[in-house]
Each structure stands twice: as C-alpha cells, then as structure tokens.
Chains A and B, each alone.
Chain A
Amino acid sequence: MSLQIKNGQVVNPLEMTVAKTDLFLQDGKIVGLGSAPKNFKAEQTIDAADQWVLPGLIDCQARLRDPGEPEKANIESETKAAIENGITSLCIPPDTQPPIDNSATVELIHHRNEMFGHQAQVYPIGALTRGLGGEQLSNMASLRDNGCIAFSNAKIPLANNLVQRRAMDYAGGQQSLVIIQPIDHDLLANGCAHEGAVATRLGLPAIPEAAETAALAKDIELVAQTGARTHFGQLSSARSVDMVRRAKAKGLPITADCAIHQLFLTDHDIGNFDSNMFTIPPLRSQYDRDALREGVADGTIDCLCSDHQPHEVDAKLKPFPSAEPGISGLDTLLPLTLRLVEEGVLPLAELIAKLTLNPTTIMGLPGGRMGIDEVADLIIVDPESHWICSASSFVSKGKNTPFEGWDFHGSVTHTLVAGNIVYKAR
C-alpha cells in the first residue's frame, strides 16, 4: 500500500515548522518528505491543498471505561471518537474495573481493541500498586513486558510515603516512567470546587490549592530521592507550575501535562451549579489559568491531554456536589488546541508538539514525528472549517461537555493509522 499526500501544509513538531510539503507513505511508514523515493508509485493520492497535515495526536490521559463501566463508554465507542477527532493514540490510566494491575487485564484491553476498536492505538498505564490498593507493589516488570507504558495509581491514594518511595524506586529501577496526579486526599476531603470567592458564594465544599501543591512538593522530593523518571498529570494551579518549573531547572527527571479544559475554564464557569463544570482537580481561578498557559508557553508543561472522562447522562443529572466529576474531552481536544494557537499561546507546530512529539518521547511510543521511517499515523485538518460545539453530535458516548455552544475552527478530514485511511470526513 502506497499513498501520496500532496499540497498540504505539513506541521513538523520536531523542526517546529509548518511548510507546504508532499508526503509519501509506504508499508505503514513515511518514506518521503518533499520528494518521492526512487521507484515510488502512489496507489492513492490525497490532495490536501489549504489543509494541514499533522502527526496523529497522542492523548496521554483518556479513560475509555473499558473494562468495567459500559454504561459510560467502551473501547469501541471511544476509539471511534478518537479517530474521528484526530487522536491516533490513547494512554489509558489503570483505574478500570478491574484495574490494570495484571497481565490478563492488559491482554483483555488489547484484545478488545483488536476486535472492536477503530484502529487507534491503546496504551495501558499499569497500576503502581496491586488493585490500586496503595499497599503492595503491582507486578510492574511483568506488566511492562505485557505492554504497560508507565505506572500510576491514578487518583487513588497510596497508603503512605514509604510505599510511594519504594514504588518509585522499583519502577525507576526498571527504567519505567511513573505518572503521578498529585492529590493530598486529606486536603481534598469532600471538596468539589476551587477554594475561592465562587465556592464561598455558592457554599460548595472547597478544594484548596494545597490539595495539589502539598502532594506535589512531597512527590518532587521523592523524585529527588529516588531519581525515578516521573510525569505529573493534570496540574491545575499556578503554584504547581512554579514548583515544576523550579524542579526542572534543578535537573530533576520531571515532565508534566495539564488537561486542556484547564486552559479555558475557571471556577466562574460553574455559574448556577453546572455539573458539567465539576472536575477533579477543580477549575481554578483566572490567575491559575493564566499561569498554566504560561507554563505551556515556556515548556514547563510538556503535554496537553483531554483527561477524557465520559459519563452516562445520570452521572451528571444530580446536584453539583453529588454529580460525578470529569469532562468528555476527545471531541474537543483538537479544536481547543487550535484555539490556543488563535489566542497566541504558542505557534501551531509548538502546540502540536505537546500532543505528538512530547508525549511519544516521554512515554516512549512510536509516532508523533514527521520524518523518514516514522510510523505513518497522520491526520489532515481543514483549518477553515467552522462549527459550533454540540454534545448531541459528539462521537464519544459521553456527552458531558462544558463547551456546549462554543465556536470552533478546524476539523479533521482524514485520519491515517500506519498509512491506512481509517477515517474520512463526509
């Protein structure tokens, strides 16, 4: 199978360039950039004039709810949503039911993706502790051999700092990446909104910044102690950005991401108790949002993710504090990213790097690059297409979006995985 994509504006996150370049694909790989290799004969040609050609996006944190919560979503529904929205790889946290703490579950996920999936790559993140119970280490070496790309305890607390130190030592010893979402559960308590004027006015149980930063400070110290390569997920506060910036400056092996909705929404968007605005960590202040954007711009924040958490309607059809937290984010990841470009946070290629080159480098995955011999996971985007966000037209099974009615520019016209067209917009 050979394919030529001609006349497109190719976004190269490694070179940080956007330039009109023809692409030549063969046997699932990129074999030519600009000029065809000798004897190349295209069986198929896509004319991408006036369109952008990007590496397929890698979402480093997306819950597919499979196995365990079919009422919310499953691998079939969510890989379809991914592919149609330009996401060719999904990293899935271990808090499935049962959790990803044994090889059988890893195999089950791979098997289901082969049987029912829509060609997106699904990369399981293994549980750091057995059953995510926070006490005993999981069989990390076997899990890694079976395809777990990193280890995390998701949002579930570890029993104590000693377990955390040993888990990081063990993972670090086998050169595995540790992913931590910093949460101090005592300070989180039953909170559901950022501690500030909005929570005060609405009488919502509040989550202080220290629920994140106190944990993060300890986590950074344990990175310094153990040397374990560690990625911090879904940061939400200005002080966290500052702490990660300083830790990186000291040379600690740290990377970080934030959920893209944190770059747009603040606690003010809770309005009249809109449960679609309930997230953990919570939507914070404008000051935090601006600091996160600065962190994205200066490289403190390496990756953006959807932090996709699809829910059934009933999960959100409750008073705010009783609703389930999280946003269905696959359908809005790319348009929100493009909006950051419009708003001048970073140029296109540099922002796209946070959804391609950076996550593949950090997680050790194929793809995310525009170069000879790279896997041909590519997407073509029409930057001019204008649409209005509506949950009812989401591909994801989860319709829980806080972006209803937003104006977006840019939509995916083609998605290619390993050189095959797996999605083509009608």
Chain B
Amino acid sequence: MPNNSIQLDDNGKLQHFLSIEGLNQAILYEILDTADSFTSVTDRTIKKVPILRGKTVANLFFEASTRTRSTFELAEQRLSADILSLNVDTSATIKGESLLDTLQNLEAMQIDMFVIRHQDSGSAHFFAQHVRPGVSVLNAGDGQHEHPTQAMLDMYTIRHHKQDFSSLRVAIVGDILHSRVARSQIHALNLLNTAEVRVIAPRTLLPMDTESLGVSVYENLEQGLEGVDVIIMLRLQKERMRGALLPSEKEYFRKFGLSQERLQLAKPDAIVMHPGPANRGVEIESSVMDGDQSVILQQVSFGISVRMAVMSMIVGQSGLQSGGDA
C-alpha cells in the first residue's frame, strides 16, 4: 500500500484531500455527517456561514468543467471564502510557464487552498508535495486517477436513500478504464463496507486486473444488474469510438445502455445515479434518467454540501458547531 499520509496531519485530520485511497472509514463518515449539517444551510434563505471568512481559495482548472467547478465555487461562497478562479488552459502554462511556477506565483498571492483539476494522474499528489506548509490542495479530478469529492457526494446520495452500506449491492457501469470517478467510488464503497461492488463494462473499457480494486467484474449488463440496490452509470466519451475501443454508440447502447427494461433486473427500489454530464441514448435512456428511480439531480445539489464539508474539515472545523451564525 502506498503511503497516503500526506493527506492527513499527525493527529489524523485532513490537511489535503487528494484521493479516497489512503483515507479511513472514520474520515469518510465525518465528511458525510459534516455535509449533513451543511445541507440545512443550503436550504436556508441566507445561505452563508463564515467558516472560510478571510481565506482565499483558488480554483485551478487545467481541464474544462461546468458542474464540478460551479459547485466548488458555490461551496466556497457559502463558506464566505474569497475566490480566485482560473482556467489555466487559456493562461500561462501554454506560454511555457511550468506547473510549479504557476502554483508558486499563486501562492505568493497568499492563497490558502487550491482546488485543482488536471489531466495528469497523480497531479494532485504532485501539487500537495510542493505547496508551502499550511496551504491545502483539494483534488477536483486528476487524470484517470481519482475524483474524491465526486465519490463522496455519491456516497452521500446513497446514504441519503439507503442508510446502511453493509447490505448494499452497487453496480458501476461503463468506462471504468478511463474513469477517475469509478476509482474513487470503488475505494469509498469498500471503505464503507459495501456488501458487493460490481463493475460492468466491455473488456476494452476495463483496466488490467480490475478485480484487484476490490470489485467483481461483469462483462454482461443483465447479469451484473441482477438484484443491485444502486446503479451508477458512467459517461461514455465520444473519443472512445475513435480509439477502436468500441464499434459504435449504437452497439454500446444495445449492450450496455440502461433502459427501463433492464432497470427491472435491479431491486425494485434501486436508485440510478450518474456523475454527469450524461449522454442520453448512449449510456442511459431518457425515461430512466428522468424517471422515479433517478437521483441524478440530487447528486448535483448534494455536491455543494459535501464540498463545503471537505473544505471546512481542512480548515479544522467540523460542521457548524464552531462556525456560528451568519
């Protein structure tokens, strides 16, 4: 096992949030419980608490993002942070400035926390290893490695509907090979003692030794959906067709698309999730996406409280107890 202790300080508290792997069950539950306390804030008319007042958060997105970036920004605003958002693909790095120079220039502006998305697996660890002491890094997606806040909002959504993980069968369907979301979800589900984690995909979209992640592997959707409590559909990127990984969207939908009919194979009260953005008619049928069992839009709103929770834990405050009113 790698040493992920860079995420935790000597007292076992979060100082960076880079990957689910390397965390423990207690921290995951603390995130979920803290997020609970913020869900009430987001329901209030005045949605702000002063936990990050006086702190500056920089959102560094080296890759495009709508949902993740906007929910991070909302979470930061609701925690009263000062915010600096940069789309770095249009900024200095293409002019030849190195990643570290970009980071250090921003550090010189007294940034307290970086929220970073970058196309290289391992970039979040890299940044965390090179920031000044006291500065925190939150991984908003690093290559094909992890997307830990997405996984935590998914866990939050599952707990909201299903309570106890230890009796659940969860199926993750789609492009496991390229998915940082799937890797984070698998680690989180296993840390939370989920009864069974299944991944369902054609072989070209499965990495080598997928089982070693702690999952059972299905190459047939019908078999994999049998009796599951939670179905998580992953987005299929169009470029997978070009890389000879799949013949066509049509054939993919025929074999791996979630239809009403296939949904019947799961438990009657199964929930359907998707980290977005979804391709209707490619991985998921519209009627399922908009149907009663879909919790996809809830995922998005829970995303704000979960990100507030992680950020507040990093600055050393768990929830609202010490945050006061605003």
Contact = CB atoms under 8 A, between A and B. Distances in A.
B147 to A, nearest CB: 10
A417 to B, nearest CB: 40
Contacts, number: 78
Nearest to B186: A201
A201 B21 contact: yes
A195 interface: yes
B122 to A, nearest CB: 3
B121 A200 contact: no
Contacts of A272: 2-4, 6, 122, 125
Nearest to A193: B121
Interface stretch (A243-251, A303-311, A318-326, A375-383): A318-326
Interface string A170-184: 000000000000000
Interface string A196-228: 110111111110100000000000000000000
Contacts of A318: 98-99, 120, 126
Contacts of B146: 203
A210 to B, nearest CB: 12
Given A271-B3, A314-B98, A318-B99, A201 B122 contact: no
A201 B209 CA distance: 9
B120 A321 contact: yes
B207 A319 contact: no
Given A271-B2, A272-B2, A272-B3, A322 B120 contact: yes
B122 A202 contact: yes
A301 B142 CA distance: 39
Nearest to A194: B208
Prevailing SS type, chain A contact patch: loop
Interface string A250-286: 0000000000000000000001110000000000000
Interface string A140-156: 00000000000000000
B293 interface: no
B208 A200 contact: yes
B78 interface: no
A318 B210 CA distance: 27
A195 B209 CA distance: 9
B193 interface: no
Nearest to B182: A203
Contacts of B84: none
A202 B121 contact: yes
A272 B144 CA distance: 14
Contacts of B213: 200-201
A200 B143 contact: no
Contact of B121 (A196, A271, A314, A319): A319
B220 to A, nearest CB: 21
A197 B212 CA distance: 6
A203 B213 CA distance: 11
A321 B62 CA distance: 15
Contacts of B125: 272-273
A46 interface: no
A317 interface: yes
Given A201-B21, A201-B213, A273-B125, A196 B120 contact: no
B305 interface: no
Interface string B30-67: 00000000000000000000000000000000000000
Contacts of B6: 272
B92 interface: no
A306 B189 CA distance: 43
B183 A201 contact: yes
B209 A200 contact: yes
Contacts of A205: 121, 144
Contacts of B143: 203-204, 319, 321
Given A202-B145, A319-B126, A197 B208 contact: yes
Given A196-B208, A320-B120, A203 B144 contact: yes
Contacts of A204: 121-122, 143-145
A201 B143 CA distance: 12
Nearest to B206: A200
B2 A203 contact: no
B145 A195 contact: no
Contact of B183 (A203, A271, A320): A203
Interface string B119-160: 011110110000000000000001111100000000000000
A321 B98 contact: no
A319 B99 contact: yes
Given A203-B144, A203-B146, A272-B4, A319 B122 contact: yes
Contacts of A321: 120-122, 143
B307 interface: no
Which of A197, A206, A273, A317 gathers most chain B CB within 10 Å? A273
Which of A202, A203, A319, A321 gathers most chain B CB within 10 Å? A203
Contacts of A201: 21, 183, 212-213
A161 B145 CA distance: 36
B297 interface: no
A169 to B, nearest CB: 33
Interface string A292-307: 0000000000000000
Given A271-B2, A273-B126, A314-B98, A203 B145 contact: yes
Interface in A317-349: 317-322
B116 to A, nearest CB: 11
A288 to B, nearest CB: 14
B228 to A, nearest CB: 23
Nearest to A204: B121
B180 interface: yes
B211 to A, nearest CB: 9
Contact of B207 (A200, A273, A317): A200
Contacts of B4: 272
B86 interface: no
Contacts of B2: 271-272
Contacts of B145: 202-204
Interface string B199-232: 0000000011110110000000000000000000
Nearest to A318: B99
A200 B210 contact: yes
B300 to A, nearest CB: 24
Contacts of B195: none
Given A203-B142, A319-B118, A319-B126, 6 more contacts: A197-B209, A203-B143, A271-B2, A272-B2, A317-B100, A320-B126
20 contacts: A195-B207, A197-B212, A199-B207, A200-B208, A200-B212, A202-B145, A203-B121, A203-B142, A203-B144, A203-B180, A206-B207, A271-B2, A271-B3, A272-B3, A318-B120, A319-B99, A319-B126, A320-B122, A321-B120, A322-B99
Question: What are the 7 closest A-B residue pairs judged by CB atoms, nearest first?
Answer: A273-B122, A203-B144, A203-B145, A319-B120, A200-B207, A197-B212, A319-B123
